Amino acid sequence: MGKTIKTWILGVFSAVAATVISSLIISHLNNVDFAQGALIVFSGISSVFLYKIPIFIIIIAIVIFLVFRWLVKRFRHVIEQPAEPEWINYVLRRYKSWMFVWRYEKDYEGKYRVKQITPICECGCQLSHNIFYTQEKCPKCGTSYPQLTNEITDELQRVIEHDIRSGEYKPILEQYNLEECD
Ligand SMILES: [Zn+2]
């Protein structure tokens, strides 16, 4: 085979490939069905053979396709946000003498961390220390609770993490959800 023929075949082949790709992108973007897509591809190929489509349009189509592919790949994690884990509503439990609430915060790696462990009263109000820091007291209903230490909240953080890993949070979550419905 002569060099000219090889170059010609290669040229036609790349043009056809580019048209197929660009037609597929167009049909994908316009959300057309398979039959319509096939028709667009076919008319695209015949246009190349009839030299209706200038080569620079094909090159632009390839560039657009590559940029499109890169964008989808680059921002896939933004488009496909993973669903929140089942335990995300596990934010309330009794631990020793207190009831606690807390929340979760996602770190830069996307991992959840337990944050702001806060003691609350049975009535739902947040507790505050009494003046001598010897007791926790409810400012709303006046109920007193033993003094809370950082050690206790550190312990509770480990307990929460364990509950999530082991699935032990499920009955606790169910219990408080039922109480909320009552
Ligand atoms: Zn209270």
* Structural domain that includes position 71: 3-79
Is the pLDDT at 49 greater than 70, yes or no? no
Check whether residue 115 and residue 75 sit in a common domain: no
Q: For residue 104, how far is its CA from the centre of ligand 1 (angstroms)? A: 24
Q: For residue 156, how far is its CA from the centre of ligand 1 (angstroms)? A: 21
Q: How many helices (H) and strands (E) does the chain have?
A: 6, 6
Check whether residue 120 and residue 35 sit in a common domain: no
More confident call, 92 vs 54: 92
Check whether residue 108 and residue 91 sit in a common domain: yes
What residues contact residue 97 under an 8 Å CB cut-off, 6+ apart? 145, 146
Work out how many domains the chain is built from and give that number: 2
Check whether residue 165 and residue 118 sit in a common domain: yes
Q: For residue 77, how far is its CA from the centre of ligand 1 (angstroms)? A: 44
Q: For residue 144, how far is its CA from the centre of ligand 1 (angstroms)? A: 9
DSSP lists the bridge partners of residue 144 as: 137
Check whether residue 111 and residue 53 sit in a common domain: no
Q: For residue 160, how far is its CA from the centre of ligand 1 (angstroms)? A: 23
Check whether residue 75 and residue 90 sit in a common domain: no
| Residue range 60-89, pLDDT digits in tens | 999 999 999 898 888 877 767 777 899 999
Q: For residue 137, how far is its CA from the centre of ligand 1 (angstroms)? A: 8
Q: For residue 128, how far is its CA from the centre of ligand 1 (angstroms)? A: 10
Q: For residue 170, how far is its CA from the centre of ligand 1 (angstroms)? A: 26
| Residue range 123-171, pLDDT digits in tens | 999 999 877 778 999 999 999 999 999 999 999 999 999 999 999 999 9
DSSP for 23-49? HHHHHHHHT--HHHHHHHHHHHHHHHH
Check whether residue 139 and residue 96 sit in a common domain: yes
- What pTM value is reported for the model? 0.56
